[in-house]
Amino acid sequence: MRALAAQVHSVPDALHALRELYAAQLARAHEEKAAPNTSVDGDGAARAAFLTLLPPEEQRAFFLTTIQRREFWPRIRTLFGAPPFSFLRPEDDGVLRAAGIAAKRTHMAHDEATATNYSEFGEGHFTDHAGRLYKVIAKKRAHSRAELPWQGLRASGRVVLDVRIAKMPQAKKLRIARGEEGPLALAGLVFPRVGDVLRLRTVSALAPQPSASSDAGSSEEEEDGLSARVSLGRQKERNSPVARLVVDVV
Strands 133-139 and 242-249 turn out to be unpaired
**What secondary structure does DSSP assign to 149-200, as a single string?**
TTSSGGGT-EEEEEEEPPP--HHHHHHHHTTTT-HHHHHTTSPPPTTPEEEE
SS3 (DSSP) at 158 = strand
Helix (H) or strand (E) run with residue 197 in it: strand 197-202
The whole-number pLDDT of residue 222 equals 41
Query: Block means of pLDDT (10 residues each) for the chain, length 250 residues?
Result: 92 97 98 96 98 97 98 98 98 96 95 96 97 95 82 88 95 92 92 97 86 47 75 96 96
3-state SS, residue 57: helix
Q: How many CB atoms lie within 10 A of CB 241?
A: 17
Predicted local confidence at residue 33, as pLDDT: 97
Say if residues 15 and 54 touch (Cβ distance below 8 Å): yes
Name the maximum alpha-carbon separation found in the chain.
Answer: 55
C-alpha to C-alpha distance for 17 and 91, rounded to whole angstroms: 28
Q: What pLDDT, on the 0 to 100 scale, is given for residue 213?
A: 52
Residue 38, pLDDT score: 95
State the pLDDT at residue 155.
Answer: 77
